[in-house]
Protein backbone atom coordinates (compact mmCIF):
# COMPACT_ATOMS: atom_id res chain seq x y z
CA UNK A 1 0.00 0.00 0.00
CA UNK A 2 1.30 3.42 -0.94
CA UNK A 3 0.73 6.02 1.74
CA UNK A 4 0.12 9.64 0.89
CA UNK A 5 3.63 10.49 2.17
CA UNK A 6 5.12 8.22 -0.45
CA UNK A 7 3.36 9.71 -3.44
CA UNK A 8 5.34 11.98 -5.73
CA UNK A 9 3.10 14.95 -5.05
CA UNK A 10 3.71 15.09 -1.33
CA UNK A 11 7.03 16.87 -1.22
CA UNK A 12 7.88 19.71 1.18
CA UNK A 13 8.75 21.98 -1.78
CA UNK A 14 5.23 21.55 -3.16
CA UNK A 15 3.40 22.62 -0.01
CA UNK A 16 1.93 26.13 0.13
CA UNK A 17 3.63 28.87 2.14
CA UNK A 18 3.09 32.47 3.15
CA UNK A 19 5.89 34.99 2.67
CA UNK A 20 4.40 37.91 4.51
CA UNK A 21 1.26 38.79 2.53
CA UNK A 22 2.36 36.72 -0.46
CA UNK A 23 0.55 33.38 -0.59
CA UNK A 24 2.64 30.84 -2.51
CA UNK A 25 1.02 27.62 -3.79
CA UNK A 26 4.47 25.95 -3.66
CA UNK A 27 7.93 26.77 -2.28
CA UNK A 28 9.81 26.61 -5.58
CA UNK A 29 10.97 30.19 -6.20
CA UNK A 30 12.49 31.38 -9.48
CA UNK A 31 15.74 33.14 -8.50
CA UNK A 32 16.72 36.39 -10.24
CA UNK A 33 18.77 35.85 -13.39
CA UNK A 34 20.14 38.55 -15.68
CA UNK A 35 19.57 37.45 -19.27
CA UNK A 36 20.55 40.65 -21.17
CA UNK A 37 17.54 40.50 -23.52
CA UNK A 38 16.49 44.16 -23.25
CA UNK A 39 18.77 44.87 -26.19
CA UNK A 40 17.27 48.26 -27.13
CA UNK A 41 18.43 51.84 -26.53
CA UNK A 42 15.73 52.53 -23.92
CA UNK A 43 16.31 49.29 -21.95
CA UNK A 44 12.62 48.39 -22.19
CA UNK A 45 11.44 44.78 -21.62
CA UNK A 46 10.24 43.18 -24.85
CA UNK A 47 7.59 40.68 -25.92
CA UNK A 48 10.24 38.02 -25.33
CA UNK A 49 10.30 39.00 -21.65
CA UNK A 50 6.52 38.52 -21.53
CA UNK A 51 6.91 35.00 -22.98
CA UNK A 52 9.89 34.10 -20.78
CA UNK A 53 8.22 34.99 -17.49
CA UNK A 54 4.80 33.66 -18.59
CA UNK A 55 6.41 30.28 -19.36
CA UNK A 56 7.65 30.19 -15.74
CA UNK A 57 4.39 31.32 -14.04
CA UNK A 58 4.12 27.93 -12.27
CA UNK A 59 6.84 29.04 -9.82
CA UNK A 60 5.62 29.70 -6.28
CA UNK A 61 7.14 33.14 -6.78
CA UNK A 62 9.15 34.70 -9.62
CA UNK A 63 11.91 37.14 -8.75
CA UNK A 64 12.80 39.01 -11.94
CA UNK A 65 16.27 39.67 -13.26
CA UNK A 66 18.04 42.59 -11.58
CA UNK A 67 16.52 45.81 -13.00
CA UNK A 68 18.06 49.31 -13.03
CA UNK A 69 16.62 51.78 -10.53
CA UNK A 70 18.05 54.68 -12.58
CA UNK A 71 20.40 55.41 -15.47
CA UNK A 72 23.18 55.91 -12.89
CA UNK A 73 22.74 52.30 -11.77
CA UNK A 74 23.62 50.75 -15.15
CA UNK A 75 26.58 48.35 -15.24
CA UNK A 76 25.77 45.56 -17.71
CA UNK A 77 24.41 45.56 -21.28
CA UNK A 78 20.84 44.62 -22.23
CA UNK A 79 19.43 44.82 -18.70
CA UNK A 80 16.00 46.48 -18.40
CA UNK A 81 15.17 49.45 -16.17
CA UNK A 82 12.16 50.58 -14.12
CA UNK A 83 12.81 54.34 -14.23
CA UNK A 84 10.96 55.41 -17.44
CA UNK A 85 7.27 55.35 -18.35
CA UNK A 86 8.00 53.11 -21.34
CA UNK A 87 9.66 50.59 -19.01
CA UNK A 88 6.71 50.69 -16.58
CA UNK A 89 4.25 50.09 -19.45
CA UNK A 90 6.31 47.16 -20.77
CA UNK A 91 6.68 45.55 -17.33
CA UNK A 92 2.88 45.84 -16.94
CA UNK A 93 2.55 43.42 -19.86
CA UNK A 94 4.87 40.97 -18.07
CA UNK A 95 3.01 41.13 -14.74
CA UNK A 96 -0.35 40.91 -16.57
CA UNK A 97 0.69 37.70 -18.32
CA UNK A 98 2.10 36.09 -15.15
CA UNK A 99 -1.02 37.00 -13.14
CA UNK A 100 -3.36 35.76 -15.87
CA UNK A 101 -1.60 32.40 -15.60
CA UNK A 102 -1.99 32.33 -11.81
CA UNK A 103 1.55 33.38 -10.87
CA UNK A 104 3.17 35.94 -8.56
CA UNK A 105 6.13 38.14 -9.51
CA UNK A 106 8.37 40.60 -7.67
CA UNK A 107 10.90 42.93 -9.28
CA UNK A 108 14.56 42.90 -8.25
CA UNK A 109 16.02 46.43 -7.89
CA UNK A 110 19.67 46.72 -8.95
CA UNK A 111 22.47 49.31 -8.82
CA UNK A 112 26.04 48.32 -9.73
CA UNK A 113 27.84 51.37 -8.24
CA UNK A 114 31.62 51.05 -8.56
CA UNK A 115 31.25 47.70 -10.37
CA UNK A 116 30.14 49.55 -13.52
CA UNK A 117 32.39 50.98 -16.25
CA UNK A 118 32.46 54.38 -18.06
CA UNK A 119 31.35 52.55 -21.25
CA UNK A 120 28.05 51.75 -19.51
CA UNK A 121 27.58 55.32 -18.20
CA UNK A 122 27.99 57.47 -21.31
CA UNK A 123 31.69 57.95 -20.53
CA UNK A 124 31.17 59.04 -16.91
CA UNK A 125 33.19 57.56 -14.08
CA UNK A 126 31.14 55.18 -11.86
CA UNK A 127 30.51 56.25 -8.26
CA UNK A 128 30.89 54.15 -5.11
CA UNK A 129 31.21 54.55 -1.34
CA UNK A 130 34.95 55.43 -1.64
CA UNK A 131 37.45 56.01 -4.45
CA UNK A 132 38.65 52.38 -4.43
CA UNK A 133 38.64 50.16 -7.51
CA UNK A 134 36.67 47.00 -6.59
CA UNK A 135 38.79 44.99 -9.04
CA UNK A 136 35.76 43.46 -10.76
CA UNK A 137 34.71 43.15 -14.40
CA UNK A 138 31.82 45.03 -16.01
CA UNK A 139 29.99 43.67 -19.06
CA UNK A 140 30.08 46.40 -21.74
CA UNK A 141 28.96 46.56 -25.39
CA UNK A 142 32.47 45.41 -26.34
CA UNK A 143 32.77 42.64 -23.76
CA UNK A 144 33.91 42.35 -20.12
CA UNK A 145 36.19 45.22 -19.04
CA UNK A 146 38.09 45.76 -15.77
CA UNK A 147 36.52 48.27 -13.38
CA UNK A 148 38.20 51.64 -12.75
CA UNK A 149 38.75 53.78 -9.65
CA UNK A 150 35.28 55.22 -8.93
CA UNK A 151 34.33 58.69 -7.75
CA UNK A 152 33.41 58.84 -4.05
CA UNK A 153 29.66 59.45 -3.68
CA UNK A 154 28.77 62.76 -2.03
CA UNK A 155 26.05 63.06 0.61
CA UNK A 156 23.79 64.37 -2.16
CA UNK A 157 24.61 61.34 -4.33
CA UNK A 158 23.62 59.01 -1.50
CA UNK A 159 20.36 60.84 -0.90
CA UNK A 160 19.57 60.80 -4.64
CA UNK A 161 20.35 57.09 -4.89
CA UNK A 162 18.01 56.23 -2.01
CA UNK A 163 15.35 58.36 -3.73
CA UNK A 164 15.98 56.52 -7.01
CA UNK A 165 15.24 53.24 -5.20
CA UNK A 166 12.06 54.70 -3.69
CA UNK A 167 10.84 55.91 -7.12
CA UNK A 168 11.74 52.61 -8.78
CA UNK A 169 9.75 50.73 -6.14
CA UNK A 170 6.73 53.00 -6.68
CA UNK A 171 7.09 52.38 -10.43
CA UNK A 172 7.13 48.62 -9.80
CA UNK A 173 3.91 49.02 -7.83
CA UNK A 174 2.33 50.88 -10.75
CA UNK A 175 3.58 48.19 -13.15
CA UNK A 176 1.53 45.58 -11.29
CA UNK A 177 4.26 43.70 -9.44
CA UNK A 178 3.47 41.85 -6.20
CA UNK A 179 6.49 43.40 -4.49
CA UNK A 180 10.15 44.29 -4.88
CA UNK A 181 13.41 42.68 -3.82
CA UNK A 182 16.52 44.70 -2.94
CA UNK A 183 19.57 43.32 -4.79
CA UNK A 184 22.23 43.41 -2.09
CA UNK A 185 24.42 40.51 -3.29
CA UNK A 186 27.65 40.13 -5.19
CA UNK A 187 30.11 42.99 -5.72
CA UNK A 188 27.48 45.70 -6.39
CA UNK A 189 26.61 49.04 -4.78
CA UNK A 190 24.96 47.94 -1.54
CA UNK A 191 27.58 45.28 -0.69
CA UNK A 192 30.24 47.91 -1.50
CA UNK A 193 28.81 50.04 1.33
CA UNK A 194 28.70 47.00 3.66
CA UNK A 195 32.35 46.07 2.92
CA UNK A 196 35.01 47.82 5.08
CA UNK A 197 37.61 47.20 2.35
CA UNK A 198 35.60 49.31 -0.10
CA UNK A 199 33.88 51.72 2.28
CA UNK A 200 36.41 54.09 3.91
CA UNK A 201 33.88 56.87 4.51
CA UNK A 202 34.04 58.94 7.66
CA UNK A 203 30.47 60.27 7.51
CA UNK A 204 27.19 58.65 8.65
CA UNK A 205 27.52 55.91 5.96
CA UNK A 206 30.98 54.54 6.80
CA UNK A 207 33.34 53.71 9.63
CA UNK A 208 31.83 51.35 12.15
CA UNK A 209 29.52 48.46 11.38
CA UNK A 210 26.28 50.34 12.09
CA UNK A 211 27.27 53.14 9.72
CA UNK A 212 28.19 50.73 6.93
CA UNK A 213 24.77 49.07 7.31
CA UNK A 214 22.88 52.33 7.21
CA UNK A 215 22.71 52.70 3.40
CA UNK A 216 20.97 49.32 2.98
CA UNK A 217 18.61 49.87 5.90
CA UNK A 218 17.56 53.29 4.55
CA UNK A 219 16.96 51.74 1.11
CA UNK A 220 14.81 49.00 2.66
CA UNK A 221 12.69 51.61 4.45
CA UNK A 222 12.41 53.70 1.26
CA UNK A 223 11.41 50.87 -1.09
CA UNK A 224 8.86 49.47 1.41
CA UNK A 225 6.97 52.77 1.51
CA UNK A 226 4.85 52.29 -1.66
CA UNK A 227 3.68 48.85 -0.43
CA UNK A 228 1.58 49.98 2.56
CA UNK A 229 3.94 48.52 5.15
CA UNK A 230 4.09 45.09 3.51
CA UNK A 231 7.86 45.35 3.27
CA UNK A 232 10.37 44.40 0.62
CA UNK A 233 12.39 41.27 0.02
CA UNK A 234 16.13 41.60 0.70
CA UNK A 235 18.76 39.46 -1.02
CA UNK A 236 22.11 39.02 0.74
CA UNK A 237 25.24 36.96 0.06
CA UNK A 238 27.42 36.86 3.18
CA UNK A 239 29.57 34.13 1.61
CA UNK A 240 30.38 36.07 -1.57
CA UNK A 241 34.08 35.95 -2.50
CA UNK A 242 35.56 37.97 -5.39
CA UNK A 243 38.00 40.88 -5.69
CA UNK A 244 37.89 42.68 -2.31
CA UNK A 245 35.01 40.52 -1.00
CA UNK A 246 35.97 37.75 1.41
CA UNK A 247 33.75 35.59 3.59
CA UNK A 248 36.11 35.70 6.56
CA UNK A 249 35.09 35.63 10.23
CA UNK A 250 34.83 39.42 10.37
CA UNK A 251 32.48 39.47 7.38
CA UNK A 252 30.31 36.72 8.85
CA UNK A 253 30.13 38.53 12.21
CA UNK A 254 29.13 41.66 10.31
CA UNK A 255 26.31 39.85 8.52
CA UNK A 256 25.17 38.22 11.80
CA UNK A 257 24.54 41.72 13.15
CA UNK A 258 23.01 42.97 9.89
CA UNK A 259 20.54 40.08 9.64
CA UNK A 260 19.49 40.72 13.22
CA UNK A 261 18.94 44.40 12.42
CA UNK A 262 16.59 43.41 9.57
CA UNK A 263 14.07 42.32 12.23
CA UNK A 264 13.49 46.02 12.99
CA UNK A 265 12.79 46.99 9.37
CA UNK A 266 9.93 46.28 6.92
CA UNK A 267 11.39 43.13 5.36
CA UNK A 268 8.89 40.81 3.63
CA UNK A 269 11.46 38.01 3.33
CA UNK A 270 15.19 37.40 3.42
CA UNK A 271 16.64 35.73 0.31
CA UNK A 272 20.06 34.23 1.07
CA UNK A 273 22.57 33.05 -1.45
CA UNK A 274 24.81 30.46 0.18
CA UNK A 275 28.44 29.54 -0.36
CA UNK A 276 29.46 28.84 -3.96
CA UNK A 277 27.74 25.62 -4.91
CA UNK A 278 30.28 22.77 -5.04
CA UNK A 279 28.39 19.63 -4.28
CA UNK A 280 25.26 19.70 -2.14
CA UNK A 281 24.41 22.95 -0.32
CA UNK A 282 25.58 23.22 3.29
CA UNK A 283 22.40 23.66 5.35
CA UNK A 284 24.37 24.84 8.40
CA UNK A 285 25.53 27.85 6.37
CA UNK A 286 21.87 28.95 6.17
CA UNK A 287 20.81 27.81 9.66
CA UNK A 288 23.12 30.52 11.07
CA UNK A 289 20.74 33.16 9.67
CA UNK A 290 17.52 31.24 10.37
CA UNK A 291 18.37 31.64 14.06
CA UNK A 292 18.84 35.40 13.73
CA UNK A 293 16.01 36.46 11.42
CA UNK A 294 12.38 36.05 12.51
CA UNK A 295 10.73 36.48 9.08
CA UNK A 296 10.41 34.18 6.08
CA UNK A 297 13.66 32.85 4.61
CA UNK A 298 14.38 31.79 1.00
CA UNK A 299 17.64 29.91 0.45
CA UNK A 300 19.58 29.61 -2.81
CA UNK A 301 22.68 28.18 -4.40
CA UNK A 302 23.11 24.78 -6.00
CA UNK A 303 19.84 23.25 -4.80
CA UNK A 304 18.00 20.48 -6.62
CA UNK A 305 14.73 18.70 -5.86
CA UNK A 306 16.08 16.46 -3.12
CA UNK A 307 18.29 19.00 -1.37
CA UNK A 308 15.48 21.58 -1.64
CA UNK A 309 13.00 19.22 -0.02
CA UNK A 310 15.57 18.46 2.70
CA UNK A 311 16.04 22.18 3.47
CA UNK A 312 12.29 22.68 3.94
CA UNK A 313 11.87 19.45 5.90
CA UNK A 314 14.72 20.43 8.25
CA UNK A 315 13.02 23.77 8.91
CA UNK A 316 16.06 25.69 7.64
CA UNK A 317 14.01 27.65 5.08
CA UNK A 318 10.47 28.52 4.06
CA UNK A 319 11.24 28.32 0.34
CA UNK A 320 14.14 27.50 -2.00
CA UNK A 321 15.06 29.46 -5.10
CA UNK A 322 16.49 28.06 -8.32
CA UNK A 323 18.24 30.12 -11.02
CA UNK A 324 19.99 27.81 -13.50
CA UNK A 325 17.34 25.05 -13.22
CA UNK A 326 14.59 27.56 -14.13
CA UNK A 327 16.52 28.81 -17.16
CA UNK A 328 16.40 25.36 -18.79
CA UNK A 329 13.17 24.02 -17.21
CA UNK A 330 10.31 26.50 -17.53
CA UNK A 331 7.99 23.91 -15.91
CA UNK A 332 10.37 23.19 -13.02
CA UNK A 333 7.54 22.71 -10.49
CA UNK A 334 5.87 20.07 -12.69
CA UNK A 335 9.18 18.29 -13.22
CA UNK A 336 9.77 18.22 -9.46
CA UNK A 337 6.23 16.97 -8.81
CA UNK A 338 6.62 14.16 -11.33
CA UNK A 339 10.28 13.47 -10.45
CA UNK A 340 11.32 14.04 -14.02
CA UNK A 341 14.94 14.54 -15.06
CA UNK A 342 15.95 18.17 -15.49
CA UNK A 343 17.25 19.69 -18.72
CA UNK A 344 20.70 21.34 -18.64
CA UNK A 345 20.93 24.97 -19.70
CA UNK A 346 23.56 26.29 -22.08
CA UNK A 347 25.75 28.93 -20.36
CA UNK A 348 26.85 30.17 -23.80
CA UNK A 349 23.36 31.66 -24.32
CA UNK A 350 22.89 33.17 -20.82
CA UNK A 351 23.66 36.72 -21.97
CA UNK A 352 23.68 36.55 -25.77
CA UNK A 353 20.38 38.24 -26.54
CA UNK A 354 17.78 36.74 -28.85
CA UNK A 355 15.29 33.93 -28.45
CA UNK A 356 17.79 31.08 -28.55
CA UNK A 357 18.44 29.70 -25.08
CA UNK A 358 15.82 32.09 -23.68
CA UNK A 359 12.26 31.21 -24.66
CA UNK A 360 12.88 27.96 -26.53
CA UNK A 361 13.38 25.49 -23.65
CA UNK A 362 10.37 23.13 -23.89
CA UNK A 363 8.00 22.23 -21.07
CA UNK A 364 7.58 18.50 -20.48
CA UNK A 365 4.24 16.81 -21.09
CA UNK A 366 2.32 13.97 -19.44
CA UNK A 367 3.41 11.75 -22.31
CA UNK A 368 7.10 12.23 -21.44
CA UNK A 369 8.43 9.12 -19.80
C1 LIG B 1 22.76 33.78 -15.88
C2 LIG B 1 22.69 34.21 -14.44
C3 LIG B 1 22.27 35.50 -14.12
C4 LIG B 1 22.13 35.90 -12.78
N5 LIG B 1 21.64 37.15 -12.50
C6 LIG B 1 21.35 37.49 -11.22
C7 LIG B 1 20.67 38.71 -10.92
O8 LIG B 1 20.29 39.50 -11.80
N9 LIG B 1 20.43 38.99 -9.62
C10 LIG B 1 20.83 38.17 -8.61
O11 LIG B 1 20.59 38.48 -7.43
N12 LIG B 1 21.46 36.99 -8.86
C13 LIG B 1 21.71 36.64 -10.14
N14 LIG B 1 22.29 35.41 -10.41
C15 LIG B 1 22.58 34.48 -9.31
C16 LIG B 1 21.46 33.45 -9.17
O17 LIG B 1 20.25 34.08 -8.73
C18 LIG B 1 21.82 32.35 -8.17
O19 LIG B 1 22.20 32.93 -6.95
C20 LIG B 1 22.94 31.41 -8.65
O21 LIG B 1 22.78 31.05 -10.01
C22 LIG B 1 22.98 30.13 -7.80
O23 LIG B 1 21.70 29.50 -7.82
P24 LIG B 1 21.40 28.20 -8.73
O25 LIG B 1 22.38 27.13 -8.25
O26 LIG B 1 19.98 27.84 -8.43
O27 LIG B 1 21.64 28.57 -10.15
C28 LIG B 1 22.46 35.01 -11.74
C29 LIG B 1 22.91 33.71 -12.07
C30 LIG B 1 23.00 33.30 -13.38
C31 LIG B 1 23.44 31.88 -13.71
Does domain 4-349 bear CATH number 3.30.360.10? Answer: no
Locate the domains of the chain by residue range: 4-349
Q: What percent of the chain has pLDDT over 70?
A: 97
Mutate to test the pocket of ligand 1, among 32, 74, 186 (most ligand atoms within 8 A of CB): 32
Mean pLDDT estimate for the chain: 95
* Ligand 1 centroid from CA 321, angstroms: 10
Reported in sequence order, the residue ranges of 284-325 that DSSP labels E, i.e. its strands, are 297-300, 319-322
In this predicted structure, the answer to whether residue 357 has a pLDDT above a threshold of 50 is yes
In this predicted structure, the answer to whether residue 226 has a pLDDT above a threshold of 70 is yes
pLDDT in the model for residue 3: 45
pLDDT in the model for residue 4: 41
Nearest CA to ligand 1 atom 13: 33
Angle at CA 267, nearest 5°, toward 179 and 168?
A: 40
Cβ of 277 less than 6 Å from ligand 1: yes
pLDDT digits (tens, 9 = 90+) for 96-118: 999 999 999 999 999 999 999 99
pLDDT digits (tens, 9 = 90+) for 257-309: 999 999 999 999 999 999 976 789 999 999 999 999 999 999 999 999 999 99
pLDDT in the model for residue 229: 80
Q: Which residues pair with 319 in a beta bridge?
A: 298
Nearest 5°: phi and psi at 209?
Answer: -55, -45
Instruction: Kindly report each contact of residues 283-286 with a partner whose C-beta sits within 8 Å and lies 24 or more positions away, as own/partner.
Output: 283/310, 283/311, 283/314, 283/316, 285/239, 286/311, 286/316, 286/317
pLDDT in the model for residue 8: 65
Asked if 26 and 13 count as a contact pair (C-beta separation under 8 A), the reply is: yes
pLDDT digits (tens, 9 = 90+) for 298-333: 999 999 999 999 999 999 999 999 999 999 999 999
For the whole model, what pTM was predicted? 0.97
Mutate to test the pocket of ligand 1, among 28, 29, 34 (most ligand atoms within 8 A of CB): 34
Amino acid sequence: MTTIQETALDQPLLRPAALGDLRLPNRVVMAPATRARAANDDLVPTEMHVAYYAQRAGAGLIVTEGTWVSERAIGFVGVPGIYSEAQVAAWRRVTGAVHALGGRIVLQLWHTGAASHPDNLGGERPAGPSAIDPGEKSFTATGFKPTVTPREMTAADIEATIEDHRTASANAHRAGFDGVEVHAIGPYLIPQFLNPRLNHRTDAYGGDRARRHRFLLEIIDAVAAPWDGRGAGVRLSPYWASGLFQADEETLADYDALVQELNDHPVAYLHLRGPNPAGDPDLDAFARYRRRFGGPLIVNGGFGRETGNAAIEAGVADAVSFARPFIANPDLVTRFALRRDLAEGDPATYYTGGAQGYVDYPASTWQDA
